[in-house]
């Protein structure tokens, strides 16, 4: 019998509870037609040929709440609202961000002069969200990574809060759960990460994509404006005070570090404060 995220708000710093159907039934929280956890949701978001003369930015143009910095649990409470008829705004996940990065790159590569200017403006604003070194900013996403102390059987979950039925009117928003072996990366160069099968598998799960190593690195180079030698990958450690055993669940996101690196970081503590971006779902 599968396990499910319990449907309630988290208090600041609390990690999601994973409960079985029997446990949920005992608490009176089970629904007969629960929102399913699926391994792959590519069928929900088919590839679409975008009109390059139309605005197709996948994320909100500006950071949520005028660029304020909050913890993950505060963002998931504050961003999710019915912004217009049949449209639900939610906190963007690592998957949402990566898809937006691909959209931006495609529009820049194939767009006209005005489209390139639009992309450049959006990138300039987005990079401010990452700029931890200059402005003490980082971008948190709605992706949680729960690490196993033994490395194997760790879990990546995109949009865990979308299980809450008061937000979801149909099944257009899914939790995407990936269970896999996540190696320890403490600032490892992305070239070395993607050269290894486990590393490429991890990044594909983190971004919820089937892109090959070259496309992943090219997309991140474009968004960060840095060479791939300066793009680093971070996961939780198994040594020291903040181990996977002591603090198993972390928030994933992006930042620039003071030493000039762009970090793909799945090691932020739950009480880390950062910026966030919203995105719209069809909720009709």
Mean pLDDT, 10 residues at a time, the chain of 284 residues: 38 44 53 38 36 51 90 84 64 93 93 89 92 79 88 83 49 66 95 97 95 98 97 93 88 93 96 91 60
* Residue 194: predicted pLDDT: 98
Contact in structure between 252 and 233 (CB atoms under 8 Å): no
Is 24 part of a structural domain of the chain?
A: no
Task: Name, in order, each residue with C-beta under 8 angstroms of 243's C-beta and a sequence gap of 6 or more.
Answer: 149, 236, 237
* Residue 150: predicted pLDDT: 67
Is 33 part of a structural domain of the chain?
A: no
Q: How many domains does the chain have?
A: 1
Is 118 part of a structural domain of the chain?
A: yes
Question: Token digits for 87?
Answer: 């449209």
Where in the sequence is the domain holding 138, given as residue range(s)? 39-282
* Residue 249: predicted pLDDT: 94
Is 6 part of a structural domain of the chain?
A: no
Is 17 part of a structural domain of the chain?
A: no
Task: Name, in order, each residue with C-beta under 8 angstroms of 122's C-beta and a sequence gap of 6 or more.
Answer: 57, 61, 104
> How far apart are the C-alpha atoms of 154 and 118, rounded to whole Å?
39
* Residue 79: predicted pLDDT: 74
Is 20 part of a structural domain of the chain?
A: no
Question: Which among 257, 207, 208, 202 has a CA at the least distance from the CA of 231?
Answer: 257
Q: How many residues does the chain have?
A: 284
Is 22 part of a structural domain of the chain?
A: no
> How far apart are the C-alpha atoms of 216 and 229, rounded to whole Å?
13
Is 141 part of a structural domain of the chain?
A: yes
* Residue 135: predicted pLDDT: 64
* Residue 26: predicted pLDDT: 61
């Amino acid at each position: 019998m599968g396990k499910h995220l319990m449907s309630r708000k988290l208090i600041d710093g609390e990690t999601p509870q994973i409960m079985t159907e029997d446990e949920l039934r005992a608490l009176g929280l089970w629904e007969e037609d629960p929102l399913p956890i699926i391994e792959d949701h590519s069928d929900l978001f088919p590839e679409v040929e975008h009109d390059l003369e139309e605005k197709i930015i996948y994320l909100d143009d500006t950071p949520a709440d005028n660029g304020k910095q909050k913890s993950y649990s505060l963002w998931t409470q504050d961003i999710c609202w019915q912004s217009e008829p049949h449209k639900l705004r939610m906190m963007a996940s690592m998957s949402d961000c990566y898809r937006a990065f691909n959209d931006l790159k495609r529009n820049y590569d194939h767009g006209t002069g005005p489209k390139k200017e639009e992309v450049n403006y959006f990138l300039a604003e987005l990079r401010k969200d990452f700029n931890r070194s200059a402005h003490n900013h980082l971008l948190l996403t709605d992706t949680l990574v729960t690490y196993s102390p033994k490395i194997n059987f760790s879990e990546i979950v995109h949009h865990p809060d979308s299980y809450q039925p008061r937000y979801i009117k149909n099944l257009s928003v899914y939790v995407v759960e990936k269970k896999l072996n996540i190696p320890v990366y403490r600032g490892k160069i992305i070239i070395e990460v993607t050269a290894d099968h486990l590393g490429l598998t991890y990044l594909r799960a983190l971004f919820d994509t089937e892109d090959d190593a070259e496309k992943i690195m090219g997309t991140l180079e474009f968004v960060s404006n840095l060479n791939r030698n300066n793009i680093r990958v971070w996961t939780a450690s198994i040594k020291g005070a903040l181990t996977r055993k002591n603090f198993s669940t972390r928030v994933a996101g992006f930042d620039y570090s003071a030493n000039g690196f762009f970090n793909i970081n799945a090691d932020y503590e739950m009480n880390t404060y950062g910026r966030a971006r919203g995105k719209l779902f069809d909720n009709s």
